[in-house]
Amino acid sequence: MAERRNTRRAAKGAAEAGGGTGGPAPARLAVRKTYKLYLGGAFPRSESGRSYPVTSDSGRHLANASLASRKDARDAVSAARKAFGGWSTRTAYNRGQILYRVAEVLEGRRDQFTAQAVAAQGLSRAEADRVVSAAVDRWVYYAGWTDKVAQVLGGANPVSGPYYNHSAPEPTGVVAVLAPQNAPLLGLTSVVAPVIATGNTAVVVTSETAPLAAIDLAEVLATSDLPGGVVNLLTGRVPELGPHLAAHADVNALDLTGAGELAAEFERAAATTLTRVLRPGPGADGGEEAWLDPDPGTARMTPFLETKTVWHPVGI
Amino acid sequence: MIFEYAPAPESRSVVTLRETYELFVDGAFTPAEGGEYLTTLNPADETKLAQVAVAGAADVDRAVAAARRAYDTVWSRMPAAERGKYLFRIARIIQERSRELAVLESMDNGKPIKETRDVDLPLVAAHFFYHAGWADKLAHAGLGPDPRPLGVAAQVIPWNFPLLMLAWKIAPALATGNTVVLKPAETTPLTALAFAEICQEADLPPGVVNILTGAGETGRALVEHPGTDKVAFTGSTEVGRQIARAVAGTDKRLTLELGGKGANIVYDDAAIDQAVEGIVSGIFFNQGHVCCAGSRLLVQESIAEELLPRLKARISRLRLGDPLDKNTDIGAINSAAQLERIRELTDTGEAEGAERWSPACDLPQSGYWFAPTVLTGVSQAHRVAREEIFGPVLSVLTFRTPDEAVAKANNTPYGLSAGVWTEKGSRMLWTAERLRAGVIWSNTFNKFDPTSPFGGYKESGYGREGGRHGLEAYLG
Amino acid sequence: MPVPHTAFAPEATTNQALRAFLHGLPGVDEVGARARAQDLSTRSVKTTAKAQAIDLAISMVDLTTLEGADTPGKVRALCAKAAGPDPTDRTVPRVGAVCVYSDMVATAVDALRGTGIGVASVATAFPSGRAPMDAKLADTRRAVADGAGEIDMVIDRGAFLSGDYLKVYEEIAAVKEACGTAHLKVILETGELVTYDNVRRASHLAIRAGGDFVKTSTGKVSPAATLPVTLVMLEAVRDHHAATGRRVGVKPAGGIRTTKDAIRNLVLVNEVAGPDWLTPDLFRIGASSLLNDLLMQRTRLTTGTYPGPDYYTLD
């Protein structure tokens, strides 16, 4: 044991550099991670058995990611639907606790995410640090929103008659999120956190070219008491997965942020079942820096909320 | 002794019908460029009321241009408080002319005067009054410190509550600083044209409100016109889908208020007499031409045997006939086409195995009529439990437990309204929480108010109308 | 079409059984009940229907004087009014009854001899009902002995509100026995019961205890006979009939002053209990000034001109 530990310490530098670039062979070969999908709380490979190479900003091979298929998307919607009843009826306080837990666990893995951002996106260490910090803070931000959004968006309506009348926002259901393509961690967090903070469940198509941060994030989600199925992450291609999610009758809302040129086509497909659509906003194509605003407000929550109004007579 | 009510017809003399109505564009009534007209009938006796211009693409162009001009030059620049005062003024004129408008609505639509007089018109005036006050307070609406109007709104409304739907569309649009081009339904254009006169009477700047009459083609041209910033539609889910497709890929904002198949859940501890009233009002109000109608009665099995005879006894007392008679509870079906659809679907229900019941009820010789109808023994698999009939036809289903009630209520692509009847508060809240519908009426049904947001989940559409929430549809 | 029973009456009459029965009745939603009454009050009753309704209403009036200041002279004057409401028009139907305090029964019977109009007497320590049971029974027996054909008793609201339903039940049953062949109207004093749930329960309790009529009010407590209260009581007699086949009458009293008020009540009867109840045997209106308004409206319909109060006798 002691020996191995010593050896490892000695070989640390080489292992972290990925090895294989000549020089003396490492005393211990690094264990690489297999990047799989995150679906229903588990980490399966794509049912299609396909994967695709993921390279860094500069073209270096980083890993193979699962290439999600239409059927994976279908399974993800089923998982999200199954999780919706439980997640949406958790108390808002409890949802806030869990989102805050996500922030805590992410904070504990700062180094991993920073290194990932440096390696995959070619960010400087300082830039990567800023992005990871902002991502952690984003979870904290939405953790704080869970039990306020109903108060801010809902309330009593003074109807002209002997009725108690009250409106409150409710989650719309299963939200298919096409995450930003060029903002794989902070952008992803910024679109997923508001969806689940309000009690929806999400099926997310991650950045195609930079999907690894998403699966790393899945490990954070999986260890943060977030029930399985609340967030489902599919690595793969928007042109392949998007049409099925947009037209899926059990998808209640669609975030087109990462849809690119296909946004209009998906919006048309979504019309068939009157799926709610959030069109790509300004900055949808931008990098992580486009998502740095520390106070995004309610704009990414309201599109995925329904207003329910309840009337009841007041009498003796 | 038998106590019969003598006929009590409301006087038609308050209404002066013109033979021909033109389009209302840029503050003036002008003929359609195509020179085409359609005839609007009184559905209670099939007599012709008037002919109304049919707007074509060129008319849509000039109406949108007028609305844009009014937006750019007058309406968006006017102090918000002044904008609000126009709406207050319109609200007052509606109140002053309410009997005339109620009679006109009953003649054109076929709905009973009791409803136009006591429900539609008071709500129309209230809707303008409510929104008038918002005009200069939008910064306090929780939609940001300086919410901006969108521009020109294209609005298409249905025939079931013609003037009320106009109010739901125009009042918030104008209060938030938008200008509008509105198309009323082809079978019920007259009160919208009377509203155009009210705009003139109120000295509303030309182009702020434009009314284009016509049928489906006119509506299509309007919602597809590239010159608008907003589309608002109330009507069928099928047309809603088409509009959503047409708007996809544009920058236009869209709100849709579509169909429904509302469940009315009656638990065994309900206040039974009031529940019976609520069931009746839920499905027979406005001949069932209500998107949020409680068209599926879900009654707990343990009281079904007691409730249904009471319900039938109550339905037997409904008075069907002349819409202008003050004692009429059920008026005429709005059109021959709608009558045909109701007949077809109701026959289907019977063919699928439901038991059909109507009270003894003499239908007038001319006009479009359908007796109040109850279909019992309906199951979720029947078409009459799934499709919107939009007529005075109630489908009755039973349930055993609250979970089953909620599951059945939610087992529909629609999600507009639902009712809950129970004397137990906790059960009411439990049920209301689980129903996937935008409006839940608990121990009441079919209540509306300008302060109360209205709109659906799922295929019943998106966006809300009324209340603070409704403003969001017209602000950016 | 008949409506089914809401609950079975208990076999044994104990307070527990009565409580189970009364509390097992469906609740009444106040807002819904008011809305229903309001909706029915918009019924427009004109021309021939109005003429029919006015005559019917006149025949249902219990012409009433219940004042501490009542004298034999006042009672005789009222009886004269009852016998000939409109001296110039013999086609006016006679009223349902004359209603007086028990010590005035003999005077009223005497004054109405030969008219066919009956005398109703309030009894049982009207209006409060706060007297020993033997006094209440004596009051009743005396009125009946003096010739009252109808007894209007008050229930013990204190007992009702404290949950002692058995006491209320037994009092009604005892008074009913004391009535002999006289009809018993049971005054619930709904203004003191406050809720419609209570009105429904008290109605069923009174019906079950043997009352021939349920009556809203003494006229001494406000609110008296409101439309929703009458609605709830009509529902009770309707439901009791559906369950047992026995028809019980309803009498709103207090606050019904105009023809419009009276016609609204008749519309309620027609649409809630049904046309079978549109007879003085099953529906009465306790009133005094109402009669003149009915007469004036009757004149308006027959002559087409508006009448003036000076042409109608005060009492």
| B319 close to B329: Cβ distance less than 8 angstroms | yes
- Active-site residue among C156, C215, C261, C293? C215
Residues of C in contact with A160 (CB under 8 A): none
DSSP category for residue A261 = G
| C136 close to C175: Cβ distance less than 8 angstroms | yes
pLDDT averaged over 10-residue windows placed end to end, chain C, 315 residues: 48 87 97 97 93 96 96 96 89 95 97 96 96 96 97 98 97 97 98 98 97 97 96 98 97 96 97 96 96 94 90 82
> Using beta carbons and an 8 Å cutoff, which residues of B are at the interface with C?
1-8, 114, 118, 269-274, 277-278, 305-306, 309-310, 312-313, 316-317, 326-327, 423, 443-444
In 3D space, the residue among B61, B414, B371 whose CA is nearest the CA of residue B218 turns out to be B61
Q: C30 and A315: CB-CB below 8 Å?
A: yes
Element (H, E) at C136: helix C133-145
| B39 close to B188: Cβ distance less than 8 angstroms | no
DSSP category for residue B319 = -
Residues of C in contact with B326 (CB under 8 A): 42-44
> What does the block give as tokens for C235?
């529902």
Q: A163 and C31: CB-CB below 8 Å?
A: yes
Q: Which chains have at least 3 CB atom pairs separated by less than 8 Å from chain B?
A: A, C
Query: From CA C55, how far away is CA C270, in angstroms rounded?
Result: 15
**Which residues are bridge partners to A55 per DSSP?**
A61
Mutation pick from C29, C31, C192, C196 vs chain A, by most beta carbons of A within 10 Å, is C31
Strand B28-30 with B23-25, pairing: antiparallel
Whether residue C39 lies within 8 A of chain A, CB to CB, comes out as: no
Q: A313 and C195: CB-CB below 8 Å?
A: no
> What does the block give as tokens for A49?
């058995």
Q: B273 and C36: CB-CB below 8 Å?
A: yes
The pLDDT value recorded for residue A236 is 97
The pLDDT value recorded for residue B224 is 98
Element (H, E) at C152: strand C150-154
> What does the block give as tokens for A286?
């931008």
Q: Which residues 195-224 in chain C show a CB within 8 A of chain A?
A: 195
Alpha helix ranges (H) inside chain A: 2-16, 70-89, 92-108, 110-121, 125-145, 149-153, 186-197, 212-222, 238-247, 263-271
Residues of C in contact with B330 (CB under 8 A): none
Q: How far is A314 from chain C (nearest CA, A)?
A: 7
Whether residue A315 lies within 8 A of chain C, CB to CB, comes out as: yes
Query: From CA A33, how far away is CA A13, in angstroms rounded?
Result: 18
- Buried b / exposed e along A243-277 (16+ C-beta atoms within 10 A): bbbbbbeebbbbbbbbbbebbebbbbbbbebbbbb
Q: A263 and B249: CB-CB below 8 Å?
A: yes
Q: Which chains have at least 3 CB atom pairs separated by less than 8 Å from chain C?
A: A, B
Query: From CA A44, how far away is CA C97, in angstroms rounded?
Result: 89
The pLDDT value recorded for residue A57 is 85
Question: Which residues in chain A land under pLDDT 50?
Answer: 1-20
| C44 close to B326: Cβ distance less than 8 angstroms | yes
Q: C31 and A316: CB-CB below 8 Å?
A: no
> What does the block give as tokens for B431?
């049920």
Give me the phi and psi of B178, to 5 degrees please.
-90, 165
User: One digit per residue, pLDDT tens: chain B, 476 residues?
Assistant: 467 899 999 999 999 999 999 999 999 999 999 999 999 999 999 999 999 999 999 999 999 999 999 999 999 999 999 999 999 999 999 999 999 999 999 999 999 999 999 999 999 999 999 999 999 999 999 998 899 999 999 999 999 999 999 999 999 999 999 999 999 999 999 999 999 999 999 999 999 999 999 999 999 999 999 999 999 999 999 999 999 999 999 999 999 999 999 999 999 999 999 999 999 999 999 999 999 999 999 999 999 999 999 999 999 999 999 999 999 999 999 999 999 999 999 999 999 999 999 999 999 999 999 999 999 999 999 999 999 999 999 999 999 999 999 999 999 999 999 999 999 999 999 999 999 999 999 999 999 999 999 999 999 999 999 999 999 999 99
Q: A274 and B428: CB-CB below 8 Å?
A: no
Query: From CA B254, how far away is CA A276, in angstroms rounded?
Result: 10
| C105 close to C148: Cβ distance less than 8 angstroms | yes
- Buried b / exposed e along C280-299 (16+ C-beta atoms within 10 A): bebbbbbbbebbbbbbbbbb
Q: Known catalytic residue: C251?
A: yes
Q: Tell me, what's the ipTM?
A: 0.96
Element (H, E) at B23: strand B23-25
Find the closest chain C residue to A163 by CA distance.
C31
**Which of B248, B433, B457 lies nearest to residue A306, judging by beta carbons?**
B457
Whether residue A294 lies within 8 A of chain C, CB to CB, comes out as: no
Q: A162 and C195: CB-CB below 8 Å?
A: no
Q: Which chains have at least 3 CB atom pairs separated by less than 8 Å from chain A?
A: B, C
In 3D space, the residue among A135, A278, A270 whose CA is nearest the CA of residue A195 turns out to be A278
Residues of B in contact with C53 (CB under 8 A): 3
Contacts of A39 by beta carbon, 8 Å cutoff, 6+ apart: A72, A75, A76, A79, A232, A233, A234
> What does the block give as tokens for A146?
């869970």
Give the Cα-Cα-Cα angle A194, A246, B458 (nearest 5 degrees): 70
Q: How far is C199 from chain B (nearest CA, A)?
A: 14
| B109 close to B162: Cβ distance less than 8 angstroms | yes
